[in-house]
Every structure is written in structure tokens, then in C-alpha cells.
Chains A and B, each alone.
Chain A
Amino acid sequence: MNVEKRLYKFYLTIEKPEMKDVIPQETEYDKKNKKFSSRFWKILPITVFVVVIVIVFLKKGILYRSDALQNDFVEDGGNADEATESCSIGLTKTEEDATVDDDYPWAIFYVYVLDDAVKIVKGTYVDSSEYNDGDKDYIVYNILVDEILKGDVNIKNKVSVITEKKDTFEIDKKPDTFGMERYKSATIGFFMQLQPEDEILLLLRDSDVKDVNTEESFYEIVSEVYYVDKDSNILHLKYPEMETFQVCQQEGIALRDHWRKTYVNIEQLRALIKKTNQTLPYK
């Protein structure tokens, strides 16, 4: 055994003290926090009650408005069912808009590419355009590739990723019909609120197209949903339950388990990939 290993093993034998013996006692800061916390729980029921009342009133208002619209529509000679539909669509849209979290200024996306290796590409969102193939609407996102973080990616400066313009993602079965300069036959689900120059990370994954004909298997295989906070340069994991991604396993600990709970700086990711020269196991 060489000396370094022997010393390392020696250091491992030194047991650190019990946590209770070294963790500092409650600080003034904690006390204040506790005070705040107990106050918070006291006012919570009242707040919930008020919010519920407000929601009930608002809902009533919306329904009233819907009825009024419907009546107006019927009075104008329209069909009552159509009127209900148009009202409910309006309402649904409002609800959807409300679920958009404005605190999240970054991109949320996942990418699936048909190829035989995993690649990670860092890019900058440029712009988007819309496309209709006569059947469905699509959005084309144009991304400038800044850097290839992992894998031999035969990719030009610009990548266009295409997604169906709807809320649920489907596999794009006609990837070659757009005539866009893009990375092979990418099947990509995108959901994003991108602004030009937003930094994003594309994880390009391999698989057999035969395996991804259903949404279920799509979710099984498409594993990464990341977003990048452009201010802090932090890469977040959005949907850990779909995540099967492991960059590195060291000392029996899956980094994936760590990422489940936390976030990773892009620089750290880059360093890890470089350091471990790791293949990315998916199966």
C-alpha cells in the first residue's frame, strides 16, 4: 500500500465527535426565527380563511360573468353550448395563466435526441418562431451553441428545437419535415419562458425511437428537466421524479440522489464531467 493510501486510511479511523457535542446551542438568531415561526402558525388559519372567502367570491364573480356572457351570446342568436364552451375556455386559460410562476425567469426544458451517446451542450436562446404543418402548431426555438460540455457533438453553431404548441408534450414524429438546421432528429419537449440571451443547457440523450412511442415511455427515457438561473449560473433540476441521470458515482453515493435535493453550479458540473470522464448511465 502506498503511503498516501495508508495515511488516508489512518485519517478515516479518526472518529469525529458526536454531533450533539459540537453543534452550537440555540443562538439569538434561532430564537428570533422560532418566534417568527410560532407567530406564523398563529396567523395561518386566519389567512387561509380569508383567502378561501376571497376565492369563493371571485369564483362567483367569474361564474356570474360567464352566465352573463352566455346570456348575451344566446340573446345575440348564438347556441347555448357554444357559449358555454367559449366561456369555459376563457376560464381555463385564466387558470393556466395563474399557474405560470413569474418568479421563475429561466428556461425549463428537456431534450431527447436520437443518437448513440449522451451529450451536454450549453447554449444561448436567441428567438423562436411558430410553424404549422397543416395539422398542429409548433414552436421552433433557436439556440446558439456556446459550448459542448460532454460528448462528441457533431453540431453546428445553431440548434433549433421544436415542440408542439400545447401544454402537454408529445413526441414529434415528423422531425425532418421542417427543413431547419438542427441536431439530427431531435424529439424534444419544451416548456419554457425564455428570453433572448437566456443561458440554457441541453442534455442530448440517446435511445431507440421504437421505445418512445408513448408518452409514458417518453417520460421514462427523457430524464432531465433542467433550468438555469441566468443570474446565479445555477443549474436546477425541475422534475426529480423523472430523473434517471447520474453524472458521477463516487464512494457509492449517486450524485443523482444529491441532485434530487439540491442544485448544481454549471461550473461544478463541467468540472465533474471533466474530472470523472464519466459515461452517463441511463438504463
Chain B
Amino acid sequence: MKNPLKRLFCERALSKVKNGDMSGIAMLYEAMGSQMYTLAISILGNREDAEDVLQETLLKIQQRISDYDKSKNGYSWVLTMTHNISVDFFRKRKKVVDIEVLSDTEELSVTYPVDDKLIVEDALNKLDRTDREIIVLKIFASLKYKEISHLTGLSVDAVEKRYQRSLKKLKEYLS
């Protein structure tokens, strides 16, 4: 599940963008589009919004590439940006949703094919948003607890506890 290559590609792509070569954006998307998209889905709960977030994140990366420090962890930088934009999006949307009086379940519904996917999806939807995000960051984006802590603003201990607790819950749901 670990993927150091993704990190290398990501940093290479960001360097390209920083040097004015915008093909780096496509390279970045190839390397970690899935992680960004899945993270956005885990926060927002639906594909359409996640797609918007993805687009906005890639645009922000272009605009704010001067902030990117090559000596820092580019992979984490991109995921942090995805997280922040997703959370912003979630908050803005929540206001709209409150006005439109939509239920939480509607918000979180993600359409996937049936059988096992549906079961896993259902189990994930039983977790709260932060726990779901931690699971994605840990399992799919292969981030360390420390990196997740930095990204989510939770303490390292809290991240680890939440992760273990969520795994336990998921085990129960999926058994």
C-alpha cells in the first residue's frame, strides 16, 4: 500500500510547475489524482462536489506554486490543499444544505456498483467525516500519523486513536 513513487512523481511534478512548465499539472494529476479525489469524496460525500474541488485544487496549486518549498513534503502539501479546499467547500455547501433542508444521508450518498463495494461504502458512511478522512489518508494516501496530524490539525495521538477505533468499527460493520 505504501507508494514512495507517488511522492517522487508528485515532487517532480510540482518542481515542473514551479519552473513554469504547466505539463507538471497533468503529471501531478496522473500521480495523485486518485488520492486527491478520494480524499475529497471522503469529506464531501459525493463525486460531483469532489470533482469541483479537484479542479479548484489544481488551479490553486498553479496559483500558489510560489509557496511550495521544494525541501518540504510536496505530496503532503497537495493533500493538505485538497483537504482545506474540501473542508471550505463542505462548510459553504452546508449552509446551502441547511437552507434547502437536505438530510445528512443524502449528502453522503455515493453511488457505487453493488455487492462488496456497496457494503464497504455503507460501512464507511457510518463513520464521521473526520474518521473517514483519516482512513483515506492512512490507507489510500499512505500518510504517516504525523502527516495526518499536521493536515487535520488533530494531535498525533488523537489521529492514531481515531484510526484504530475506526478500523475496529469497520471490522465490526464488515464482518
Which of A's residues lie within 8 Å of B, judged by CB?
3-8, 10-14, 16-17, 19, 21-24, 27, 29-30, 33, 232, 248, 250-251, 253, 255, 258, 261-262, 264-265, 268, 271-272, 275
Q: A4-B139, A14-B37, A22-B55 are in contact. Are A275 and B2 (CB under 8 A)?
A: yes
Number of chain B residues close to chain A: CB under 8 A: 45
Q: Is B156 an interface residue (CB 8 A)?
A: no
Q: Which of B18-48 contact A (CB under 8 A)?
A: 20, 22, 25-26, 29-30, 33-34, 36-38, 41, 47
Q: When the two chains form their complex, are residues B5 and A258 in contact, meaning their CB atoms are under 8 A apart?
A: yes
Q: When the two chains form their complex, are residues A8 and B140 in contact, meaning their CB atoms are under 8 A apart?
A: yes
Q: When the two chains form their complex, are residues B112 and A251 in contact, meaning their CB atoms are under 8 A apart?
A: no
Report B-chain residues with C-beta under 8 Å of the C-beta of A29: 20, 22, 62
- Taking A6-B116, A19-B33, A250-B3 as known contacts, 13 extra A-B pairs with beta carbons closer than 8 A to each other, sorted by chain A number, are A3-B170, A3-B171, A4-B1, A7-B120, A14-B41, A16-B36, A17-B37, A24-B58, A27-B22, A232-B70, A268-B4, A268-B8, A275-B4
Give the dominant DSSP class at A's interface.
Answer: helix
Report A-chain residues with C-beta under 8 Å of the C-beta of B1: 4-5, 8
Cα distance, A268 to B9, chains bound together (Å)? 12
Q: Which of B133-175 contact A (CB under 8 A)?
A: 135-136, 139-140, 167, 170-171, 174
Write the nearest CB–CB distance from A32 to chain B, whole angstroms: 9
Residue among B2, B59, B139, B167 making CB contact with A11, cutoff 8 Å: B139
A interface footprint on B77-121 (CB within 8 Å = 1, 0 otherwise): 000000000000000000000000000000000001100110011
Cα distance, A264 to B140, chains bound together (Å)? 23
Write the nearest CB–CB distance from A275 to chain B, whole angstroms: 7
Q: A17-B54, A22-B55 are in contact. Are A7 and B4 (CB under 8 A)?
A: no
Report A-chain residues with C-beta under 8 Å of the C-beta of B12: 261-262
Q: When the two chains form their complex, are residues B140 and A251 in contact, meaning their CB atoms are under 8 A apart?
A: no
Report B-chain residues with C-beta under 8 Å of the C-beta of A19: 26, 29-30, 33
Q: When the two chains form their complex, are residues B22 and A30 in contact, meaning their CB atoms are under 8 A apart?
A: yes
Report B-chain residues with C-beta under 8 Å of the C-beta of A14: 34, 37-38, 41, 112
Interface centre among B22, B58, B112, B171 (most CB of A within 10 A): B22
Q: When the two chains form their complex, are residues A11 and B38 in contact, meaning their CB atoms are under 8 A apart?
A: yes
Report B-chain residues with C-beta under 8 Å of the C-beta of A5: 1
Interface centre among A17, A33, A255, A272 (most CB of B within 10 A): A17
Report B-chain residues with C-beta under 8 Å of the C-beta of A6: 116, 120, 174
Write the nearest CB–CB distance from A202 to chain B, whole angstroms: 22
Q: When the two chains form their complex, are residues A3 and B174 in contact, meaning their CB atoms are under 8 A apart?
A: yes
Cα distance, A261 to B15, chains bound together (Å)? 13
Q: When the two chains form their complex, are residues B4 and A272 in contact, meaning their CB atoms are under 8 A apart?
A: yes
Pull 30 A–B residue pairs with CB atoms less than 8 Å apart, ordered by A. A3-B167, A3-B170, A3-B174, A6-B120, A7-B135, A7-B170, A10-B116, A11-B34, A11-B38, A11-B139, A13-B113, A13-B117, A14-B38, A16-B33, A16-B37, A17-B47, A19-B26, A19-B30, A22-B51, A27-B62, A29-B20, A33-B20, A33-B22, A248-B4, A250-B2, A250-B5, A265-B11, A268-B7, A271-B4, A272-B4
Cα distance, A33 to B22, chains bound together (Å)? 10
Residue among A8, A24, A251, A258 making CB contact with B25, cutoff 8 Å: A24
Report A-chain residues with C-beta under 8 Å of the C-beta of B41: 14
